[in-house]
Amino acid sequence: RQIVRILNADSIAPPGARWLNKTTRQARTWSYTAVVGHRRLGKGILNNRLYIGKAAWNRSQWMRDPDTKRYSYRVRPREEWVEVDAPELRIISDDLWQRAQTRAITASMTAGTESKRNVGKYLLSGFVKCAVCGGSYIKTNHSYRCGTHRNRGEMVCTNSRGITVERLDRAVIAALRQQLYTPEHLGTIIGYVRDELMLLAKRDDHGPTDQSKALREVEVEIEHIKTAVKMGKATESLLEMLEDADRRHQALVAGQDRPRPQEPQARLQRVLADLPARVQACLEDLETLLSVKQIEQGRSILSNLIREIRIHSDGTAEICGDLHGVLSLVTQEKSSLWWLGEEDSNPR
C-alpha cells in the first residue's frame, strides 16, 4: 500500500491509463491489487518475473464462443508457458526477489483466511459507502474503512475515518428505531399492513368461488363420460377417466362439507382493533431480528429499508433508504396467520 501511495502521489500513470475513454479511478490511479496482483498467474508488480530477467509468453488466451460471439479469458496450463532469459531486463537481485515472494506468500495466507471468514458474516457488509469518494467501506480487523483510501491512498480519497463494526450496527439500529417510532411513521406502517391484510382477505374470499367452479366443471365432465358410455363407447381408457373424475368429485364435495374457517372479512375486522400493538411488537424486536444469529434474514430486510450508509470524514453517518421497505420488516417476521389472529402471538 505504501508503494501505491507513492505512485499516486507522484502522478505516475497506471496501466489503466492506456484505456480509451476511461476517466474512472481505476483508469487514473494505482490500486493495491495492481501491486499485489495474482501470484499463480505471475501478474502484478510483486510477481513480475521480468524484473529478474525472465520474460514469459503464452500464459493466457482469449477464446471466442461460436454461438454468442463473445470472448472469454482463459489461463493456459503452466506447461504451455514459454519463458526465456532476458538478463538485460533484470533490475533486482534474486535474493531481494525471494525475500519479497516469501513475505507476499505469508501476507496473502493471512489476508485470504480473514477474507473468506468475513464473507456474508456482517450485517452491514455492502451497505456502507464513503461519502467523499463514493467507494465501498470494507471490513479490516474489527472496523469498516474506505476501501479506496486503504487501497489507493490519500491522494485518491482523503477519508481515513474508520468505525467499529459493533458501533455502526448499534447506531444504525438505534437510528431506524428512532425514525420508525414517530407517530407519523407508525401510522404509515400500520396503513401498509392494513392494506396487505385487506388484499389477503380479498384473495381468501375467492377460495370458495374457485372450488364451486371446479366442482361444476368436474360434474359436467362426468356427465359427458357417462353419455359416451351409454352410446357404447365404454373403452378401458374411458372407464379410467370416469373413475378419475369421480375421485376428484368426491374430494371437492368433501372440501365443501368441511367446516369453513371464520370468514376473512370477520377475521380482518377483529384484528384491526389491535393492529397498532401488533406492529409495535414487531418493531420492538429489532435487535433480535437483525442479530448475528439471523444475519441472512437481517440483511434481506435491511436491503428493503436501506440503500446505503454514507460515512463522512467528520465521523457522521448518513442513512439513505425508503420507509416503504419497512413493510418487509413487519411481514417477514410474522406469518399471515399471526396477523389475522389465527396464531398465538407468543406461543412459548
Residue 86 CB-half CA count within 13 A: 16
- pLDDT tens across 4-19, in order? 888 888 888 787 666 6
What pLDDT shows up at residue 117? 47
Is the pLDDT at 148 greater than 70, yes or no?
Answer: yes
Q: Would you call 55 helix, strand, or coil by DSSP?
A: strand
**Who wins on pLDDT, 18 or 122?**
122
**Who wins on pLDDT, 47 or 215?**
47
Average of per-residue pLDDT across 59-67: 86
d(CA 282, CA 185): 14
- How does residue 294 score in pLDDT terms, banded at 50, 70 and 90? low
What pLDDT shows up at residue 88? 93
Average of per-residue pLDDT across 326-330: 46
- How does residue 116 score in pLDDT terms, banded at 50, 70 and 90? very low
Q: What is the DSSP letter of 272?
A: H
- pLDDT tens across 173-222, in order? 777 777 777 777 777 777 777 777 777 766 655 555 566 777 888 888 88
Mean pLDDT rounded to a whole number for the chain: 75
d(CA 87, CA 75): 26
What pLDDT shows up at residue 342? 45
What count of other Cβ atoms lies within 10 Å of the Cβ of residue 205?
12
Average of per-residue pLDDT across 282-297: 64
Q: What is the DSSP letter of 43?
A: B
Residue extents of the structural domains in the chain = 183-307+320-339
d(CA 202, CA 177): 32
**Who wins on pLDDT, 232 or 307?**
307
Amino acid, res. 278: R
Orientation of helix 183-230 relative to helix 236-257, angle to 10°: 140
- Residue from 329, 330, 323, 336 nearest 300 by CA: 329
What pLDDT shows up at residue 343? 46
Is the pLDDT at 270 greater than 80, yes or no?
Answer: no
Of the chain, the percentage scoring pLDDT greater than 70 comes to 70
Whether 192 and 283 have beta carbons less than 8 Å apart is answered as: no
